[in-house]
Structure 1
Amino acid sequence: MELLLAIFLAVLAAFVAIAFYYEHPRAEIPHGFSERRKLYVLHYVMNLGFGLATFLDKVGIVSEVHFLRVLMDTIPPFEDKRLLIKDLRFERVKVRIYQPQTSKCSQRRGVLYFHGGVGRLGSIRAYERTCRYLARKSDSVVVSVGYRLAPEHPFPAQFEDCLAATTHLLRTAQDHGVDPARVIICGDSSGGTLTAAVAQALVNRGDVPKLRAQILIYPFLQIVDLNLPSYQQNGRVPILLKERTVILGLKYVNKDLSLIPEIFKGCHVPEDLRLKYQKWVSPDYIPQEFKTRGYKPSPTHPPSEETHERYKPLLDPVFSPLLAEDSVVAQLPETFILTCEFDVLRDDGLLYKKRLEDHGIKVTWCHLQEGFHGTVFLALFGGAIAFRSGIKGLKKIVSFLRLM
């Protein structure tokens, strides 16, 4: 009986995944990508997860977001006796601290890690491998921040938790074996968004030590222009399809999905703001080498006041850090930015890199020529799941940390 049930569930899962695959845009992986088959398999497995989550939600068994969270939390961590691991709270925020035991150094660098997951997914548990790796390889005290998730805790609760955890560590660094002058914040994807927003929020704070650096791993940084070259070239490249990017982002801030076509056209940005943002968000600032795979300037569509009012929070620098004022950007700490060639968010990183450098901020840039969104996170699984580009990215991040 149990065997029959298992077979039934497996067939059902495969059916749901296939249906989900054909319901959504087909994946397109450039022929120059050397690990194409592996990425296709990953794309199918992700469709299986998303499809099954959607199915279970529609039939009322479990909500989509809770099912995906459970899936992510089943990721087994590495066993590592070289780390002292403990769970604490920084103010109201759950954190897990990873402290190396092999070094005699009493005051190490401290790294706060903000996980990805578009504010709705991810957890301390899901990012165990990432944080253990960074602590061990860079000989740092790593603090994984378990910020509250939407929709139970609406945006910007995620930012507020990350800011609270950061200020707490800056104030109490020595209690955790951390040099308060060597605190770095780091995050991937939406965690990179949170990293950028927290760094900006701290520039005018005189009550805590300054951050030593920020590390942005393929961050989402703006929703003004979704027709930049990277969006046009990689709109159907797994794992972050263009349409999926916007859907997940709108669900994060609890906005309806009815006007997504208007957002793609840029109708949510009024004319005065469009003129203001052009000096920061423009395909003209993307180097020509990143347009060779194809780019066609998009027509300008008239703005809609209704659309702007409905999606106005998306233009807040907490959600779109690339839109912060120059006076804020000019005070940011040294920065590491990782971008991936086959990622819709590639140009967000390139534009932020330019803004920082224009203001004299030192930037270390790592571009993964065969990277895609999520490649660094997957690198820690080894075997068939790890991609060479992700392994390279991890090593570059560790090298940067060791210099701090």
Structure 2
Amino acid sequence: MSTMMNRVPLPVQGLALHSVFALPQPLRRLIAGKPVQRDGQELALDAQLLMRMMALTDTALVGGTPVEARADLEARRALVGPGVTGVRTRDLGIPADHGRIPARLYEPVNLATGSPLLVYFHGGGWVIGSVDTHDVTCRYLARNAQVRVLSVDYRLAPENPFPAAAQDALTAFHYAARNADALGVDSAAIAVGGDSAGANLAASVCLQATKNGSRPVFQLLFYPATDATTRRRSRDLFADGFFLTDDDMTWFLDHYCPDLEQRRDPRLSVLLAEDLRGLPPAYVVTAGFDPLRDEGNAFADRLREAGVPVVKRQHDDLIHGFVSFINFGTRFREAVSEAAGALRTGLALRSRANVVDIFRPTA
């Protein structure tokens, strides 16, 4: 069955996949199988159905060499379907010591100049992924949060191992802060965000920039990787069958940071930073059926202990990678819409349009 499906062109597979998600709920449940329950949680039907369809086509997050895995992920963009309307884009280059970092600016139609900005870092284990693979996600966040989004194509491993990605992420944030007027954004309302490895980079930027006296005003972290040194319970519970696997995590880290001692560096293992005081307010999203769940929640807890305003939001019924699946069913979109609302609120509170800075002591 899977061999036959793999012979079907990807755009046709995409149409078939969207047709399956449009079926009545009883038929979707029949295809997905009996509800999956683990650790006191039940997997969302949309997530279970997607996993079932991926199994039928032998689709995996990674496979082969990094170059092959990147090409495979880029090709699977054909499965996603139509993008989000009402958003303009323009590509640009961010000056860096090693050349220029490609980036893409997303601007909702009719959004006034001087809007807040989200500097976004895509997921992919620091090895795969690109601005293009996360195009739909960035368009969705831009339109629904009513912010400009600067998506950054940072250098990938193993060609550029740690700390190259972390350096590019910090460079991109400083570029946005210095060029706020040219980007049409409010320099007082610049946030960072990302998913998975990208969320790790966003948190790393906050840690580094705060030490340097210039920080983002908000961090939006989708299922962040926060500790490359410790194996937590969720990694064993959800080691296989829920999109991101235990083997995938090992593959990513071995390519990005093969030196085990370097993995303790807070620019990678942000959870191990000695002091998190003064970091920007955070919205930390985790998924119940995700190997990264426990380290993401642990980071949110440490932020709160350090006095950082934080919302820890665990979607018990979802899987890793859900920000990339908003075109399938409704459950993934609900979760991303909730995050977009948090981002919009968090940035609006810091905008120059507001007289009172609620994060500054009043007396």
TM range (shorter): 0.7 to 0.9
Question: Equivalent pairs: percent with the same residue?
Answer: 28
**Larger relative contact order, structure 1 or 2 (CA cutoff 8 Å, min sep 6):** 2
Matching of residue 131 in structure 1 with residue 141 in structure 2: no
Rounded Cα–Cα distance in structure 1 between residues aligned with 2:244 and 2:183: 37
1:101 corresponds, among 109, 133, 140, to: 109
Partner secondary structure for residue 161 of structure 2: coil
2:43 corresponds, among 33, 40, 59, to: 33
Q: 1:325 aligns to what?
A: 274
Is the deviation greater in 317-326 or in 239-248?
A: 239-248
| Aligned pairs for 1:3-402 within 5 A | 10=7, 29-30=36-37, 32-35=42-45, 37-44=48-55, 47-49=58-60, 53-54=63-64, 63-72=67-76, 74=78, 78=83, 80=85, 82-91=86-95, 92-103=100-111, 105-206=112-213, 208=214, 210-226=215-231, 228-253=232-257, 255=258, 310-326=259-275, 329-379=276-326, 381-382=327-328, 386=329, 388=331, 390-402=332-344
The Cα offsets for residues 110-147 of structure 1, whole Å up to 9 and x where unpaired, read as 00110000111111111110111111111111101011
Rounded Cα–Cα distance in structure 1 between residues aligned with 2:225 and 2:285: 12
Task: Tell me which amino acid in the other structure corresponds to 2:71.
Answer: F
Rounded Cα–Cα distance in structure 1 between residues aligned with 2:178 and 2:342: 24
TM-score w.r.t. the length of structure 1 is: 0.70
Q: Kindly state the Cα deviation for residue 366 of structure 1 after the two structures are TM-superposed.
A: 1.7
Kindly name which structure, 1 or 2, has the bigger radius of gyration based on alpha carbons. Answer: 1
Greater share of helix: 1
Change (3 A) 1:399 1:153: same
Q: Kindly state the Cα deviation for residue 156 of structure 1 after the two structures are TM-superposed.
A: 1.8
Task: Tell me which amino acid in the other structure corresponds to 2:336.
Answer: L
The Cα offsets for residues 303-361 of structure 1, whole Å up to 9 and x where unpaired, read as xxxxxxx51111111221111112xx102000010011111111111111111111111
Rounded Cα–Cα distance in structure 1 between residues aligned with 2:325 and 2:123: 12
The Cα offsets for residues 175-196 of structure 1, whole Å up to 9 and x where unpaired, read as 2111111001000010011111
Partner secondary structure for residue 162 of structure 2: coil
Q: Kindly state the Cα deviation for residue 68 of structure 1 after the two structures are TM-superposed.
A: 2.5
Q: Kindly state the Cα deviation for residue 99 of structure 1 after the two structures are TM-superposed.
A: 1.3
Matched-pair contact (CA < 8 Å) for 2:43–2:289: no
Q: Kindly state the Cα deviation for residue 244 of structure 1 after the two structures are TM-superposed.
A: 2.2
Number of matched residues?
310
Matched-pair contact (CA < 8 Å) for 2:36–2:48: no
Gaps of 5+ in 1: 1-5, 14-27, 256-309
Matched-pair contact (CA < 8 Å) for 2:51–2:241: no
Rounded Cα–Cα distance in structure 1 between residues aligned with 2:5 and 2:281: 54
Q: 2:358 aligns to what?
A: none
Rounded Cα–Cα distance in structure 2 between residues aligned with 1:83 and 1:367: 29
Task: Tell me which amino acid in the other structure corresponds to 2:311.
Answer: T
Rounded Cα–Cα distance in structure 2 between residues aligned with 1:239 and 1:313: 27
Partner secondary structure for residue 203 of structure 1: helix
Change (3 A) 1:399 1:154: same
Rounded Cα–Cα distance in structure 2 between residues aligned with 1:161 and 1:73: 25
Rounded Cα–Cα distance in structure 1 between residues aligned with 2:239 and 2:186: 42
Rounded Cα–Cα distance in structure 2 between residues aligned with 1:359 and 1:344: 25
Task: Tell me which amino acid in the other structure corresponds to 1:142.
Answer: V
